[in-house]
Chains A and B, each alone.
Chain A
Amino acid sequence: MNLSARMIIVLTVVGLISGSFLSVVGLLTKERIAMNQQQEIQNAISEVLPATKTSHKVFEDESLAIYESRDEKDDPVGFAVYASGTGFQDIITLMYGIDPSFSKIKALTILEQKETPGLGAKITDKTAFLRYWEGRNCEQPLLLRKPAVESPEDLAASEVNAITGATISSEKVLDIVNLSLERLKEIKQKGQLSSEEKNAP
């Protein structure tokens, strides 16, 4: 058999064998991977809106996703907003829970961040940052309180505590939330909140 034919045959056979192998592996893992991604979103929603029993996506575009949450009596608990934006070092992805009238933020959680460890990375810390977000009044854009205060009671209702030594990371989180709040109100006005398939936790 001449060389060119052998080259082509070997390459084709190797290609076909690995191709089939990979499609088997691909199919076997596809569902599991999709499930993992779903699970992550569900966990985040339950964290920011603890009374959630079921939730479904009501809006999505490249920068934002909104999930409607209902409790076991199927009453609306609120919305979970999934947003991302530029942080100090790289992209920050977060989720916060908001009440049905868009006036109060229930809680915030950070999903992905690459901020400076020990400083900016404290935005994932409940005691250092996240607990100050609970119950914030968000009818107007939120403001950053610096220098930081010790107790959440010292904050005005629409103020959020900065992390000492990590003001920029704190600010970036604030910007992401404020921007998404603006879009939220826009979307509600345009009546773009629609119901899609339910996904139970």
Chain B
Amino acid sequence: MDILTLFVAAILVNNFVLYYFLGICPFLGVSKKIDAAFSMGMAVTFVMTLTAVASWMINHWILIPFGLDYLQIVSFILVIASLVQLVEMFIRKMSPPLYQALGIYLPLITTNCAIMGLALLAALKNYDFIKTVVFGVGSGLGFTLAIVLMAGIREQLDRADVPEPLKGAGIALIVAGIMALAFSGFSGMIK
């Protein structure tokens, strides 16, 4: 699969939220307002790209050469937790306004299955370095697309007459299902 195909597939065909079911917690929790959703999406894309780089290096420079692939899960999650910590400290120092916008979402990202999912999937599919990074960026953008679309719909949904039991998570999931259906129309578009 060439790079461009991989990039488009990661955003549309195999969308992280709507196909792989990753990142559902933030998808439901942070999708009530479009700008909050966009900020979360950007934070996730940023961390995903860094994670793609870091996990590839750890996998191919340490784990595989020394036959330590059983340490993959432990090392990946520790790397992700540390990365998020570092990114948070860095942003807080370098750009307080950016920290205001993104900062609160960062600690949430550690248990965001999308990040760990990215590291695991890239390792599973045995992508080389460039493909892993492209996969990371693409998947992050796909997540952002899904969460922003959801926020747009939910902002409208606030004014609709949703039955009481379905308010909140229930209707959000049903909307996500319809979105997933729509996105499945993208299948088969890659050669």
Partners in one complex: yes
Interface of A toward B, CB cutoff 8 Å: 18-19, 22-23, 25-26, 29-30, 62, 86, 88-91, 116, 168
CA–CA, A15 and B68, complex, Å:
15
Kindly list chain B residues whose C-beta atoms are within 8 Å of the C-beta of A19: 71
In the complex, whether B165 has a CB less than 8 A from a CB of chain A is: no
Kindly list chain B residues whose C-beta atoms are within 8 Å of the C-beta of A29: 70
Q: B1–A86 contact, CB under 8 A? A: yes
Kindly list chain A residues whose C-beta atoms are within 8 Å of the C-beta of B188: 88-89, 168
CA–CA, A62 and B126, complex, Å:
9
Task: Tell which of A22, A30, A90, A168 touches B14, judged by Cβ atoms closer than 8 Å.
Answer: A90
Q: A86-B191, A90-B14 are in contact. Are A26 and B1 (CB under 8 A)?
A: no
Interface of B: prevailing SS: loop
Q: Closest residue of chain B to A30, judged by CB?
A: B70
Q: How many Cβ-Cβ contacts under 8 Å join chain A to chain B?
A: 28
Pairs of residues from A and B, 7 with the lowest C-beta to C-beta distance, nearest first:
A26-B70, A88-B188, A168-B188, A89-B187, A88-B187, A22-B70, A86-B190
CA–CA, A67 and B139, complex, Å:
36
Shortest CB–CB separation between residue A21 and chain B, in angstroms?
A: 10
Chain B, interface size: which category? 10 to 19
Shortest CB–CB separation between residue A116 and chain B, in angstroms?
A: 8
A-B contact pairs, 5 of them (CB 8 A): A18-B74, A22-B71, A30-B70, A62-B126, A89-B13
CA–CA, A93 and B126, complex, Å:
15
CA–CA, A144 and B188, complex, Å:
17
In the complex, whether B100 has a CB less than 8 A from a CB of chain A is: no
CA–CA, A116 and B68, complex, Å:
36
Kindly list chain A residues whose C-beta atoms are within 8 Å of the C-beta of B191: 86
Q: Closest residue of chain B to A28, judged by CB?
A: B70
In the complex, whether B5 has a CB less than 8 A from a CB of chain A is: yes
Q: Closest residue of chain B to A116, judged by CB?
A: B187
CA–CA, A25 and B188, complex, Å:
41
Shortest CB–CB separation between residue A141 and chain B, in angstroms?
A: 16
Kindly list chain B residues whose C-beta atoms are within 8 Å of the C-beta of A25: 70
Shortest CB–CB separation between residue A190 and chain B, in angstroms?
A: 24
With A22-B71, A22-B74 given, name 18 new contacts (CB 8 A). A18-B74, A22-B70, A23-B70, A25-B70, A26-B68, A26-B69, A26-B70, A26-B71, A62-B126, A86-B1, A86-B190, A86-B191, A88-B188, A89-B13, A89-B14, A89-B188, A91-B125, A116-B187
